[in-house]
Amino acid sequence: MTIEETSVSETETTSAIHYGHFVGGDWRATADGTTFEVHEPYTGKVFGEVAACGQAEAKAAIEAASVAFQGWAELAPARKAALFLRAAEIVERRRERIADLLARETGCTVFFANFQQDLVKQTLQHAASWVYQRKGDILQSDVPGTYSTAVRRPLGVVASFTPWNGASVLAWRAVLQPIAAGNTVVVKPSELAPVSAGLIVAEIAAEAGFPPGVVNVVTHAPGEAKVIADEFFENPEVRCINFIGSVQTARMLSERAGRVLKRTVMELGGYNPMIVLEDVDIDYAVRCATFSAFFHQGQICMNARKILVQRGIYDEFLRRFVEKTKTLRRGDPQNPETVIGPLITPQALASVKERVAEAIELGGKALTGGNHQGQVYEPTILVDVPPEATVCNEETFGPVTIVQPVDTVEEAIAQANRTMYGLTSAILTGDTYRGFELAAQVKSGAVHVNMPTIDDEIQAPIGGVRDSGWGRTGPYSIDDFTDLIWVNVQSGQRKLPIA
């Protein structure tokens, strides 16, 4: 089959996928026919061959989105809702196939792959109600005969950058939130997961019957993102940059957006402290810590990077946490019993190894883990890590967490707030009301009391504070992807002060 003709649903799971890019409702090859290979993190085998787009393809995608914008913005809510629900049905029908592709392309476990498909389906179903969200307010006016309103209007074309981790969930989120608000979208998925983080979305949107140009996807070879990003920033039809990714990249994108006065929505990383108070059920705390620290090999922005434990239970908590961690099965992500799969690339593995080595060189100790087989890094618990170690201050995208004793609740809160990240956090305590009171003191976009640091509910306003970004998810995203316009109507003639 040609690149344009091939789709995920038409290939075998054991063969490489061949994919073009998706513009204006059509699958296309690049102008010069260039492609790049995507490799499976666990086996190193070629997973797929994908179109290597450049400026011309990005420009064409923006043009298609711009042409489609007015018609989509004016489409009746019932028509939009029906499309979202139809897409949810397709996701459910194809969930096993898509989950298999996710595991192969991103190295996520079978459990996480299936979890993502469940969440995608729920998100699509919820999105059907977002198109009916309040789009304005009636305002009081002191002027007689005035009908004053504040009305939300879509921005136009939104350029969404989607990541490889949580690829399916985050790609759909980056598409659904802007289009539910009436915008059209051009998606630039990560070159590490172009299928899961973008092309599958386009395929399902096309099958569901979305109008051409509402969803467009341009893929690029490793190291070639700048060409597409340049077009996003320089093209006046793009009115918003929607980015999910690292703080470092977000700084560069925000600076560029500022120069051309384009709106940005940023969902970034986090350091995500977990506070464990001495009145907690230790076994439950260990289960929460294990899930928070090591889910998806520590490659989620919500993973717990530091666990702060009151000294009265520190030794016992640590003993049980180490024992539990040693039982986590490592290896092939397609094995349903695997808990810890591979890191996404050899470079990611090297970064984790370097940070753990630095922590140990500075005096820290690894109570378990610290080794790897292939790209599968063992879940690692560090203690006695000095505050100057990089792993104490920066998000380390791997199955590595620090456990640190604290004497008082006040010290725990201070340690939790010592970094400039602020995405999510957790407080574990036997006194739920006390946990609720303490939550107000943690500088974080989410504080989970007696829960893991990782949670995702479609109706919740997920997003960061401080260096973890701005903007919120779900129905709260309507404000991020619309302009608020004052429409003021005078009945009759208003008395003017100088005429």
- The candidate with the shortest Cα–Cα distance to 478, out of 87, 93, 77, is 77
Each of the 499 residues of the chain gets a pLDDT tens digit; together they read 233 334 443 344 446 789 999 999 999 999 999 999 999 999 999 999 999 999 999 999 999 999 999 999 999 999 999 999 999 999 999 999 999 999 999 999 999 999 999 999 999 999 999 999 888 899 999 999 999 999 999 999 999 999 999 999 999 999 999 999 999 999 999 999 999 999 999 999 999 999 999 999 999 999 999 999 999 999 999 999 999 999 999 999 999 999 999 999 999 999 999 999 999 999 999 999 999 999 999 999 999 999 999 999 999 999 999 999 999 999 999 999 999 999 999 999 999 999 999 999 999 999 999 999 999 999 999 999 999 999 999 999 999 999 999 999 999 999 999 999 999 999 999 999 999 999 999 999 999 999 999 998 989 999 999 999 999 999 999 999 999 999 999 998 888 888 7
Selected catalytic residue, list 301, 378, 392, 395: 301
CB-based contact 403:383 (threshold 8 Å): yes
pLDDT of residue 15: 64
Q: Residue length, the chain?
A: 499
- Residues 322 and 209: their CA atoms lie apart, in Å, by 51
- The candidate with the shortest Cα–Cα distance to 457, out of 69, 246, 173, is 173
pLDDT of residue 495: 84
Residue 405 burial (CB count, 10 A): 18
Global pTM value: 0.93
342 token code pair: 């591979």
pLDDT of residue 494: 85
53 flagged as catalytic:
no
For the stretch 115-119, contacts whose Cβ atoms lie closer than 8 Å and that sit 24 or more positions apart, written own/partner, are 116/166, 116/167, 116/168, 116/169, 117/91, 117/92, 117/168, 119/169, 119/456, 119/458
Selected catalytic residue, list 57, 191, 231, 267: 267
301 flagged as catalytic:
yes
